[in-house]
Amino acid sequence: MSDTCLDALLSTRDGQIGLLTLPREDLRVTGDSASSGDTTPPSSFVLLQLPVGWQARDLRDAHFVANRSQQVVLVSEAHHCSFTAHRVETSNVLVLVPPRKTTNHQANAAADANDTGAEAEAGFALHDTQAADGDTPWKRDTDEPASREWKKAKLAAPRDASPLVPVPARLLKPGGIGSSFLELRPTVLARNDLQRALRQALPPNDAEWNPQSYSDCRHSDRTRMQRGRTVAQLANYLQTSTQQIRNGLAALPQAFPLPHSHNNNNNKVHHQTTSFVYLSEVVLQDILDAIVATLAEVDDCSDYAQHGVLLHSVLIPEALQRLSPPVTTVHTDDANLLLWQALIRHGVDTLRDESCSSPHIPSESDTDCEPRTVLTVSKVARLVARRLFQMQTAPWEERRFLARWQSELPGVGHIYAVHVAMLRGLAIRNEGSSTERSVSDRTSTATVPEEATWRYLAADQVVVRSHEHADPTTTGYPTESYFDVLFQTQSLWTLDALQPYLDYLVVETATTQADLLLRHTKLIIRTDPLTGATLQFFTKR
C-alpha cells in the first residue's frame, strides 16, 4: 500500500477499518507474472482483511513475503508475528477504495463502455501513483448509487487528504467476481519446519552437524563444515518474523549457534550474522551426560539449583574432561577448544533455570567474582531418568526405579527430590493388577497385588519410530504413524496421560490439539465397576 493511500486512510477513518484494497503487485513474486503468463492488468487489486486488533497504521511496519511454492504471508517485525493469506467469499459489502486519477479521455471511454464489468474495472481501479499531477481524480459521468456515495465521502473528507470511496465489493472486478477477500490467519512456526530448514543448510549427505567431523577434517576443508543459516535467512525461508525464529531456536536443543570464529574469517561478528546448525543428537546427549557427571562429582557444582555453578572457571573445564574422548587444552588447538567450550555452554543453556532472568550474583562472602549460573532440577532429573530407561528394555518396577533415580540425581536436599510428574512425556505408568499367587506353604493361594511399572516412551523417540514406520511414498509429517506408535504401546489413553504427547506434536506440526484428536482418535465412555464413576478414554480411530 502506498504511503499516500495509507495517509488518506488514517486521516479519514482513524485506521478503524476491516477491509483494505491493495495492489496485486504487492502480493506477487518478482518475475512471477511473466513466467506464469499472468495477464492481470497492473491496476488490479485484492481485498485484504486486517488481523483482529490491528489498525491500518500497523501495516507501515509489515511486509509481504511470497515465493513460488508457498502462499503469501504478511510478516510484522513490530508485532513479532506473521499471517498467512487465505481467500474467503464475502457478501455484497461496501469497501473503501482510493480513487484512480484518470484523464478526461479515459473517463469518457469508461462511461461509453457497454460492459458493466469493464466499466466498473475502469472506474473503480486503484490510485495510480504514476499519474501526472495535472490529471483529474476520478471522473465518472454516471449517476449510480456508488458514485453518489463517493461524492458524499468526498465532501466529508478533510481537504488535505485524498478521499476514500465506498464501493460495493461485487463491482471491484468484471462480472461481480470481486466478492471475495484475503483473510489473514496467524502463523505458528512448526518445530519440524525449523528442523528441516537447519538440516537443508548442511553439506550434502549430512543430516546433522558433528563437531568431531569438523575437528578431524583438514583446515582447508573446514569451510565445508561452517555452513548454517542466520536468523534472517531462516525467517525469509520459513516466511515468519525474526522473533518467531528466535523463539523456535531457543526451544530447539539441537539448534547450535556456531562460535564467532566459525562464522567467517573476520573476528568482528554481530549477533545478526551468527549461523545456526542442526547439532547431532548423539553429540548433544554426550555433552549433557558430561555436564550431569560434573554436577555429581565436583563439590562446587553440587548445589546447582540454589547456589549455582561457576560456568567458565569450573563447569566447562570439568565437563570437557568427562567427554569421550576427553578434550584437553594441551592437545587441542585454539579453534577446536573454542568450539567445544561453546558446545558445553550450549548444553548448559538447555538446562538453565528459565525463571531466573539473570545469573546468581555471589555475595560479598564469596571469594570468586564470576556470576553463578542456576540450573533446573527437573531438567537434570529427566536426563538421569532417560539414561536409566535406556539401560534396560524391560519396564522398571516403580519402587526400584524411584530409588535408583533418586540415588543418581546430583544434589543433596529437599529441592533435589524426584517425583513422577517429572516423567510426563518421557515414560508411561502401567498399573499393577491383582493376581492369584501361591503363598509360602504352597498349599493355598492368595490375591497378591502386582507393583506398578514404568515403561520408556519419550515423545521425541515416538517421532523417530513414526518416521521408521511411515509409508515412504507419502509426503509430509507422519502424524498417522505417530498415533499408531502410541496406541500400539497402549490401546486406551486418558487425556491426562496423552496430553504431553499431544503437546509435543502440536509444537512439532503447528496443528491444534482439537484437530489432532478429531482426526486420529475416538472417545470411549466407560463406567468404573467399583465407584460407578464415568471414565473417558481415547483409542485409535
> How high is the pLDDT of residue 290?
95
How far, in Å, are 204, 254, 263, 282, 333 from residue 224 at the CA level? 10, 19, 12, 21, 19
The 8-class DSSP code of residue 493 comes to B
Helix (H) or strand (E) holding 116: helix 116-123
Residue 352's beta-bridge partner residues? 375
Give the residue among 75, 77, 59, 73 at the shortest CA–CA distance from 29: 73
- Kindly give the pairing relationship between strand 180-186 and strand 81-89: antiparallel
pLDDT tens-digit map of 139-163: 333 444 445 544 554 444 444 455 6
153 contacts 169 by C-beta, under 8 angstroms: no
Residue type, 245: I
pLDDT > 70: what percent of the chain?
62
Residue 52 has pLDDT above 50, yes or no: yes
- Residue 340's DSSP bridge partners are none
Taking CA atoms, 154 is separated from 12, 21, 61, 99, 138, in Å, by: 10, 18, 28, 10, 11
Mean of per-residue pLDDT scores for the chain: 75
Alpha carbons within 13 A on the beta-carbon side of 419: 6
> How much of the chain, in percent, has pLDDT values that exceed 90?
39
pLDDT at 55: 77
How far apart, in Å, do the first and last CA atoms of the chain sit? Answer: 48
What's the confidence (pLDDT) of residue 338?
Answer: 87
508 versus 49: the higher-pLDDT residue is 508
Mean pLDDT across 427-435: 76
Average of pLDDT values for 423-430?
Answer: 94
Q: pLDDT tens across 456-487, in order? A: 999 999 998 888 877 776 667 889 999 999 99
Tell me the range of 32-46, 165-179, 436-450 where mean pLDDT is highest.
165-179
Q: Kindly report, residue by residue over 77-102, the tens digit of the pLDDT.
A: 988 999 988 877 766 666 666 665 55
Rounded average pLDDT over 29-55:
59
**Average pLDDT in the 344-356 region?**
88
Residue 225's pLDDT band (cuts 50, 70, 90)? low
Band (136; pLDDT cuts 50, 70, 90): very low
Q: Which of 271, 304, 269 is nearest to 375 (CA)?
A: 304
224 pLDDT more than 80: no
pLDDT digits (tens, 9 = 90+) for 301-349: 999 999 999 999 999 999 999 988 787 765 556 778 888 999 999 999 9
DSSP 3-state of 256 = strand
Place of cell 576443508: 221
8 A C-beta contact, residue 238 and residue 197: yes
The predicted pLDDT at position 444 comes to 53
All three cell numbers of 171, joined, read 463491482
CB 521 within 8 A of CB 477: no
Q: How far is Cα 227 from Cα 262, in angstroms, rounded to an integer?
A: 9
Domain boundaries, given as residue ranges, for the chain: 3-184, 191-368, 376-456, 457-541
Q: Which of 31-40, 44-53, 67-76, 392-401 has the lowest mean pLDDT?
A: 31-40
- Helix, coil or strand: residue 536: strand
Average pLDDT over residues 38-50: 61
pLDDT at 179 over 70: no
* Lowest model confidence (mean pLDDT) among 212-216, 248-252, 433-437: 433-437
Decide if pLDDT at 129 tops 50: no
Model confidence over 235-274: pLDDT tens digits?
989 989 999 999 999 999 999 998 865 444 443 434 568 8
* DSSP symbol at 356: -
